[in-house]
Chain A
């Protein structure tokens, strides 16, 4: 892997973070591919699902969905709408322990993938 991949963002753009993100996107893609290929992505998904079910997070999300469906009426709801409704709450309400565990594993993977 080229060292240039890890260089700091190019400052000549208006939004410095933009440059950073562009690098990020390619990097993310690479990581993603590696995750999938090694089967680690599958493992991580299973781990996340188990943890989130255990701690009741999934039930909370389902309740939130039902509330929304009740409001909107059962026939009109779309999947996109439901996703839009519960994503902010969902992201925020992941327990810290679960987050820490997952981040740890991901970081280990990134390191071990020699990036």
Chain B
């Protein structure tokens, strides 16, 4: 009988409906509870996450602001690992020109003396032919304006004597690396 079949299917349908009603009630309970916790700020973890978010936004703003870093903290700039670098490099190494032990922070002024003015240094350099060749190749354009900011030595050499250009390049690279 269609009635009996209809009965069964409507029964299953019915029980499903009742079941869904029950589940919806529980869902509403959970939602209400969570809503209460959220609005009252009872969820500590949530607070912590919000706090962290706020702090990270603040920190980002601070980093993005350039004037902050440049003016203050020039001596004690902190990098991402939290290390501070002293303004004057303190590593000691051997000068490849004169062979002496030089403090890295004092290397540039040392080179000035070592390569430019010293008569001993000039005599040493002219001995090497490759250095002389490089010297003429490199020094012809723009002796005044050098692309490298810390090559005080080059300017002095150009105006003074065409010194050791070959060695100049290699030395400059070392200085930049150190």
Contacts and interface: CB of A to CB of B under 8 A. Distances in A.
Contact of B31 (A49, A79, A99, A103): A79
A38 interface: no
A27 interface: yes
Contact of A77 (B6, B22, B30, B39): B39
B123 to A, nearest CB: 74
A8 interface: yes
Q: Which of the four size classes fits the interface of chain B?
A: 35 or more
Tell me whether chain B's interface is mostly helix, strand or loop, or mixed: helix
Contact of B15 (A20, A49, A110): A110
Interface of B: 2-3, 6-7, 10-35, 38-39, 41, 43, 45-46, 49-50
A22 interface: no
Contacts of A3: 3
Contact of B34 (A7, A8, A69): A69
A32 B24 CA distance: 14
B23 A91 contact: yes
Nearest to B27: A90
Interface in A77-115: 77-79, 82-83, 86-87, 90-91, 94, 99, 102-103, 106-107, 110-111, 115
